[in-house]
Amino acid sequence: MDLYEYQGKELFSRYGIAVSEGRLATSPEEARAAAEELGGPVVVKAQVLTGGRGKAGGIKLAEGPDEAQASARHILGLDIRGHVVRRLWIERASDIAREYYLSITFDRGEKKALLMFTTEGGIDIEEVAATKPEALVRLHVDPLEGFQPWQARRLVYGGAVDDAGEQKQIADIVGRLYQAFVDCDAMLCEINPLIVTPEGEVRALDSKFTVDDNALFRHADIAEMRDPESYPREERAAREKGVTYVKLDGEVGILGNGAGLVMSTLDVIALAGGRPANFCDLGGGGDAEGVVDALEVITADPQVKSILFNIFGGITRCDEVARGILTALDRMTIAHPIVVRLDGTNAEEGRRLLTEAAPPNLHVEPTMLDAARKAVELAR
Ligand code: GDP
Ligand code: MN
């Protein structure tokens, strides 16, 4: 789960990392009031779950309340790479002497947290990594040893920060960021830019904070930060019903049991010359309830032209799934053509049930490839 900048900054401050004082606003009037309260120049910042807001016009300096209100009016509703701005963060403007970069990510290859630091901050880190790799200092943290203070010093010296005050503050921030990363079960904690003010104070001017979805159950306070509006409508509906759903760009809606099977179904659809509209995993279930939920989610997507059920019966038997499908189709009307491929435990029984009782828009196919071809053909 990705957090908004202001939410990440709230977590930063809990761990003692310096950030600028600010207020959340959802209207130009609130932005004005926030600027009045903060006093002096402020920055009006679009809160969207994507980077590069500055370049997209989502970040504006404002001298005072009037300008803050005008900028807010301009930025609210702006579409930044598919993310519509609904929230603004208004914070006290900072004077910037230098912009650095600091991050912690989870390096799956090494199975360790990876610290990265460079004094070439502010801009895209990918660009620094590509054009000036020597400027990017990288260091892994062994999860059993934990973070050691010498590692922060190595980052700072490696990045050639020569001011002693800066070295001390940055090293301190690295330790605090690591603590936040581990405590919050984060996958990414990034500060870009980490600024140095003309007075020599080091502060986080931006935040990217991603928390492992699988750990949210033990972070109720962070789970509550989720903004349902930041997800597409069908994804929201799927989440509410507990269906695993991923939106894709094609025309065949896919429903399977088990992530592995669903993913190979995507490949077979491509092999048959079609494109999947989405990815829906029934998991272990195949009861009518689960099928209705999944069908509701799939058919809410206007791009779907045909639906492919790909079921491999194991513990969940094919006859159960077939009954689930039939009950679901009794309860709801589906205009789309539906293709079903059943294999595994009690597959024959399942196919017989379907062929005997199914409505005319339901087609039973014996193999995955036949089913995919049929679904692609019916989507044309
Ligand atoms: P991003 O573009 O989404 O990464 O948003 P950032 O929060 O990193 O802001 C982009 C850039 O805007 C920063 O690199 C700064 O150069 C500038 N900026 C943001 N806040 C301030 C501020 O308080 N004062 C000044 N002078 N510039 C700022
Ligand atoms: Mn940034």
DSSP of 286-309: -SHHHHHHHHHHHHTSTT--EEEE
User: Active site includes 190?
Assistant: yes
Catalytic residue among 4, 6, 100, 101: 101
Residue having the nearest C-alpha atom to atom 6 of ligand 1: 206
> Does ligand 1 have an atom closer than 6 angstroms to the CB of 206?
yes
What does the DSSP assignment read for 118-159?
A: ES--SS-HHHHHHH-GGG-EEEEE-TTT---HHHHHHHHHHT
CB 277 within 8 A of CB 251: yes
Decide: residue 12, CB within 10 A, 0-12 exposed, 13-18 middle, 19+ buried: buried
What's the 272 CA to ligand 1 centre distance in angstroms?
48
Residue having the nearest C-alpha atom to atom 15 of ligand 1: 122
pTM equals 0.78
Residue having the nearest C-alpha atom to atom 11 of ligand 1: 54
Closest CA to 92 of 207, 180, 225, 203: 203
> Does ligand 1 have an atom closer than 6 angstroms to the CB of 368?
no
What's the 194 CA to ligand 2 centre distance in angstroms?
9
What's the 292 CA to ligand 2 centre distance in angstroms?
43
Q: How many CA atoms lie within 13 A of 49 on its CB side?
A: 14
Catalytic residue among 67, 190, 235, 251: 190
One digit per residue, the tens of pLDDT, for the chain of length 380 reads 999 999 999 999 999 999 999 999 999 999 999 999 999 999 999 999 998 999 999 999 999 999 999 999 999 999 998 789 999 999 999 999 999 999 999 999 999 999 999 999 987 888 888 999 999 999 999 999 999 999 999 999 999 999 999 999 999 999 999 999 999 999 999 999 999 999 999 999 999 999 999 999 999 999 999 998 887 777 888 888 888 888 888 999 999 988 899 999 999 999 999 999 998 888 766 677 888 888 888 988 889 999 999 999 888 889 988 998 999 899 888 999 999 999 999 999 999 999 999 889 999 998 999 999 999 999 99
> Does ligand 1 have an atom closer than 6 angstroms to the CB of 121?
no
Best probe residue, ligand 1, of 4, 38, 63, 96 (max atoms within 8 Å of C-beta): 96
Best probe residue, ligand 1, of 43, 75, 90, 95 (max atoms within 8 Å of C-beta): 43
Q: Which atom of ligand 1 is nearest to the CA of 206?
A: 7
What's the 323 CA to ligand 1 centre distance in angstroms?
57
| Residues, the chain | 380
> Does ligand 1 have an atom closer than 6 angstroms to the CB of 205?
yes
